[in-house]
């Protein structure tokens, strides 16, 4: 009887140790649910200045800030943006356009296309040799004759005149702000964002930001190829996967 009791005690002890081991494994494997408060600036990530605080700029600020990037949104009246910055999420500050241009390792131009020549003129000294994302699109009914010319020659040819001495990238112009918000980090194949630039390093940096926002970068080619995804093209504001976009643009499959 005593021997049997000792045997049962040893079995019970072994089962207890096994249960504790499994519990410890579960605690290691299963992460705690993510909370908004968990987001914070991540060391080593590039800073992003957004010139403009409209719907596209605000949506990108939210996506990138939640990915751990420090972002500055801007307008000529930055105090009016403070409540917007708080509502967007963590890691977002406000400033003037010049502040945002100075702040960012990458600077996003998110103003109506007709304003780009003046913005470029004012910010040229601050933007010198920086990576600049131009997401504006020319609409003649809003922007006037300059938009007609830009449409004819392509934004990849027109925009560099407004922003000399920068490493210009055309990206995020072929998606609406509604789709930009709703399709970020979607299940399955991510939506593709076409990119055009003459600078290989700038292309890599912007590709990283595209992925951080929850999308798939598709490098189309140099700036001159931005005309392939300008207003009115077959891929403009039509959400597609990377493979679908490549096929539509006649690019090699990866």
Q: pLDDT, tens digit, for every residue of 51-68?
A: 998 999 999 999 999 999
**What is the CA 229 to chain-centroid distance, rounded?**
18
Average pLDDT for residues 150-174, to the nearest whole number?
98
Nearest Cα to Cα of residue 250 among 232, 225, 224: 225
The answer to whether residue 5 scores a pLDDT higher than 60 is no
- CA dist., res. 131 & res. 108, Å (int): 9
Across the range 173-186, mean pLDDT stands at: 98
Q: Count the neighbouring beta carbons within 10 Å of the beta carbon of residue 85.
A: 22
pTM above 0.75, yes or no: yes
Residue boundaries of the structural domains of the chain: 41-249
According to the model, what pLDDT value does residue 55 have?
95
Which of helix, strand or coil describes residue 238? coil
Rounded Cα distance between 40 and 141, Å, is 42
Right CATH for 41-249 from 3.40.50.720, 1.10.150.20, 3.10.20.30, 3.30.360.10: 3.40.50.720
pLDDT on residue 41:
60
230-246 confidence digits (pLDDT tens)? 999 999 999 999 999 99
Radius of gyration of the chain (CA): 25
Share of the chain above pLDDT 90, in %: 80
Instruction: Report how far residue 100's alpha carbon sits from residue 74's, in angstroms, rounded to the nearest whole number.
Output: 6
Q: Which long-range contacts (CB under 8 A, 24 or more apart) does 13-21 make?
A: none
């Amino acid at each position: 009887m005593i021997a049997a009791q000792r045997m049962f005690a040893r079995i019970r002890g072994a089962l207890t140790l096994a249960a504790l081991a499994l519990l410890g494994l579960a605690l290691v494997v299963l992460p705690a649910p993510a909370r908004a408060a968990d987001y914070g600036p991540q060391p080593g990530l590039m800073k992003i200045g957004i010139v403009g605080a409209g719907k596209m700029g605000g949506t990108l600020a939210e996506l990138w800030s939640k990915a751990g990037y420090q972002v500055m949104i801007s307008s000529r009246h930055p105090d009016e943006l403070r409540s917007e910055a708080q509502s967007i999420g963590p890691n977002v500050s406000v400033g003037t356009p010049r502040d945002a241009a100075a702040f960012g390792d990458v600077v996003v131009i998110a103003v109506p296309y007709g304003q780009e020549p003046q913005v470029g003129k004012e910010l040229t000294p601050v933007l010198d040799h920086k990576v600049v994302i131009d997401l504006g699109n020319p609409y003649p009914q809003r922007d006037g004759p300059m938009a007609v010319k830009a449409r004819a020659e392509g934004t990849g040819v027109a925009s560099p005149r407004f922003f000399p001495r920068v490493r210009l990238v055309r990206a995020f112009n072929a998606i609406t702000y509604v789709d930009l918000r709703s399709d970020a980090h979607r299940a399955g194949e991510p939506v593709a964002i076409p990119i055009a630039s003459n600078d290989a390093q700038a292309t890599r940096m912007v590709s990283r930001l595209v992925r951080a926002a929850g999308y798939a970068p598709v490098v189309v080619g140099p700036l001159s190829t931005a005309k392939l995804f300008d207003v009115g093209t077959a891929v403009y504001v039509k959400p597609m996967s990377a493979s679908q976009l490549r096929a539509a643009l006649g690019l090699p499959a990866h």
